[in-house]
Amino acid sequence: MMHGEHLQGYYQDPAVAQQWFAGPWQDSSQWAQWPLQQWQGDRQALAAIASAAVKAAAGDRQAQAHATALGRDNVIAVLAGQQPAYALGPLYNLLKAAHCIAIAEQLSQQGHPAVPVFWCASDDHDHDEAAGSWLIQGDGRLRSLRRSMSPQHCALHRVAAQPGWQALLEALAQLPGSHLGKDWMQALHPHNDETLGAWMCRALSALSQGTGLVCIEAWRLRPLWQTGIQRALEHWPQQALLQRQQQLQAAGWPTPLGTLEQPPLFADTHHQRKALSPDEAHELWLKNPLSLSPGAALRPVLQQLALPAAIYCAGPGEITYHAALGPLYATMGAHAPRLIPRLSLGLIPPWVQRGLDAWGLHADALQPHLPLPQTNNDASDDAILAIYHEAEARLASQAAVLDPQRHQRVETARQQLRKLRHRLERSLQRAQRQRLRRPSIGSLREQLYPRGAAQDRTLSSSQALYQWGPGIFQDMLQQARQHPLGGNQGWIYL
């Protein structure tokens, strides 16, 4: 089932929304009330932790004020998150931050004070994903960049941010465009002792100045969810989670979290992030609870215990996660947030727009599931190709009455002639395209939908910032303000 079908079930089927997402919700003001009435967390401890996080990320006064505001009983949080990665990860990291800012602004304007929070999931240890980045070159081809990850097997909040930085800048300098963000990116140079998570928070804080975005690494919030860890260890709802998984499978939904037979908990040390059995996790919880790190299936519930989050800006995978975790929320005494599908945006550089104009197309016409438009041949080209067609037909007719040995030889020649016709047809189309000053349609598609998916899933955040400057974040924020409910594909014309 694709993301769009998830959204149809999520928004249009009240039974599904109620069963799997604790919904449905008809207006944001209604949903904004539950954290104020039911959240049982420690406000003062949260404010202190958030303030320390803002200071560590060099956040501005507005971010610091918002961190302090989390200590007030009438304030809710709007959340988005992602693990840190080389080159700031894909563009959707920036979009998630912009989207949660826009939603928090809207709620605050409606009389529901809200703080946008970016949850930096540096508890994760997916080094393979975090070590890579993609750059989209001027002709649409992808360039893969990878960096070393040290220490290996550790959570990302222990991995240094500096390795690969110089190689990244050198690769960015080779891209087309005006490089409006060159100086800004160079000033973002990771400090000697800065980790991937800390660097990502500092970069997002610098981008979002004046918006009050609070960037916080997940490990900082561990003191706030210790009772949740205890409940997970003592009352893990294995049977209910299995039943939910079967329901999802029967409905055709994916089940990426597996059977969840036990709490996904890890020992987070300087040397590794090690998976633990329930007994091992319980022993560590008694001895050193702050060294316990949750896995993907447990993290969304713990974040709800740590933060009064009314709304979460979710990607497609995160929506399926939440569908599977309903029983866990009930067991751990947490309330699921309202899920708003994150905004999806692509960037259209001037040279791509010129190419689209030459073809007379909108970017949406090049979506991967649609056939590629072709350049029509002119009449003289068609006449030349007709000669080949006629020759092929005559050869086939003559070969039909020949003995087997000669038939095979003529058939081989006919197939070679057919290949020559195809080659000539492509060559004539290229010549016609060049006369019309049209770039390769395949190159345009690769610029807009690299790897057959939305551009924001591949394009490096650092590429966008280097080519077009940090002001690109304001463009994203403006789009998010216009579409706070998200879930749509849009474009920024550069």
pLDDT digits (tens, 9 = 90+) for 109-126: 999 999 999 999 999 988
Q: What is the pLDDT of residue 2?
A: 35
Q: What is the pLDDT of residue 430?
A: 74
Higher pLDDT, 378 or 280: 280
Q: What is the pLDDT of residue 143?
A: 98
CA 311 – CA 355 distance, rounded (Å): 39
End-to-end Cα, the chain, rounded Å: 34
Full residue range of the structural domain in which residue 314 is found: 3-230+282-349+454-493
Q: What is the pLDDT of residue 8?
A: 53
Question: Within a domain: residue 138?
Answer: yes
User: Does residue 4 register a pLDDT over 50?
Assistant: no
User: Does residue 154 register a pLDDT over 80?
Assistant: yes
3-state secondary structure of 145: strand
Question: Within a domain: residue 208?
Answer: yes
Count of domains observed in the chain: 2
- Mean pLDDT (whole number) for 394-412: 81
Confidence of residue 81 (pLDDT cuts 50, 70, 90): very high
User: Does residue 333 register a pLDDT over 80?
Assistant: yes
Per-residue pLDDT of 246-293, as tens digits, reads 888 887 777 878 889 999 999 999 989 999 999 999 999 999 999 999
| Per-chain mean pLDDT for the chain | 89
3-state secondary structure of 146: strand
Judgement on whether residues 385 and 442 belong to the same structural domain of the protein? yes
Q: What is the pLDDT of residue 280?
A: 97
- Mean pLDDT (whole number) for 2-17: 51
Question: Can you give the three-state secondary structure of 246-299, one letter per residue?
Answer: HHHHHCCCCCCCCCCCCCCEEEECCCCEEECCHHHHHHHHHHCHHHEEECCCCH
Tell me the two tokens of residue 179: 């490089």
- Mean pLDDT (whole number) for 167-173: 98
CATH of residue 477: 3.40.50
Question: Within a domain: residue 249?
Answer: no
Higher pLDDT, 133 or 322: 133
Question: Within a domain: residue 252?
Answer: no
Q: Output the CA–CA distances (angstroms, integers) from residue 226 to 34, 78, 169, 301, in the order listed.
A: 22, 22, 41, 12
What is the percentage of the chain residues whose pLDDT exceeds 90?
Answer: 65
Judgement on whether residues 370 and 472 belong to the same structural domain of the protein? no
Q: What is the pLDDT of residue 51?
A: 99
Q: What is the pLDDT of residue 259?
A: 82
User: Does residue 137 register a pLDDT over 80?
Assistant: yes
Judgement on whether residues 289 and 145 belong to the same structural domain of the protein? yes
Cβ of 95: how many Cβ atoms within 10 Å?
25
| Three-point CA angle 119, 26, 41, nearest 5° | 40
In contact, 118 and 100? CB cutoff 8 Å: yes
Judgement on whether residues 31 and 77 belong to the same structural domain of the protein? yes
Per-residue pLDDT of 57-77, as tens digits, reads 999 999 999 999 999 999 999
CA 82 – CA 3 distance, rounded (Å): 18
User: Does residue 388 register a pLDDT over 80?
Assistant: no
Q: CA nearest 158: which of 148, 166, 150, 168?
A: 150
115 DSSP assignment: E
| Contacts by residues 376-382 (CB-CB < 8 Å, ≥ 24 positions apart) | 376/432, 377/425, 377/428, 377/429, 377/432, 378/432, 381/428, 381/432
Judgement on whether residues 388 and 433 belong to the same structural domain of the protein? yes
Judgement on whether residues 306 and 448 belong to the same structural domain of the protein? no
Question: Within a domain: residue 242?
Answer: no
Question: Within a domain: residue 312?
Answer: yes
3-state secondary structure of 27: coil
Give the sheet arrangement for strand 265-268, strand by strand. Answer: 273-275, 265-268, 292-294
Q: CA nearest 342: which of 91, 124, 115, 106?
A: 91
Judgement on whether residues 434 and 474 belong to the same structural domain of the protein? no
User: Does residue 11 register a pLDDT over 60?
Assistant: no
Question: Within a domain: residue 272?
Answer: no
Lowest mean per-residue pLDDT among 6-20, 179-193, 198-212, 216-230: 6-20
Judgement on whether residues 384 and 445 belong to the same structural domain of the protein? yes
Higher pLDDT, 263 or 373: 263
Per-residue pLDDT of 456-489, as tens digits, reads 999 999 999 999 999 999 999 999 999 887 767 7
In contact, 78 and 112? CB cutoff 8 Å: no
Residue 489, strand partner residues: 344
Judgement on whether residues 207 and 163 belong to the same structural domain of the protein? yes
Q: CA nearest 337: which of 315, 314, 360?
A: 314
Judgement on whether residues 287 and 369 belong to the same structural domain of the protein? no
Confidence of residue 1 (pLDDT cuts 50, 70, 90): very low
What is the percentage of the chain residues whose pLDDT exceeds 70?
Answer: 92
Q: What is the pLDDT of residue 18?
A: 58
Confidence of residue 3 (pLDDT cuts 50, 70, 90): very low
Confidence of residue 322 (pLDDT cuts 50, 70, 90): confident
Judgement on whether residues 304 and 375 belong to the same structural domain of the protein? no
Tell me the two tokens of residue 47: 């404010």
Question: Within a domain: residue 275?
Answer: no
User: Does residue 7 register a pLDDT over 60?
Assistant: no
Residue 142, strand partner residues: 136
Judgement on whether residues 341 and 389 belong to the same structural domain of the protein? no
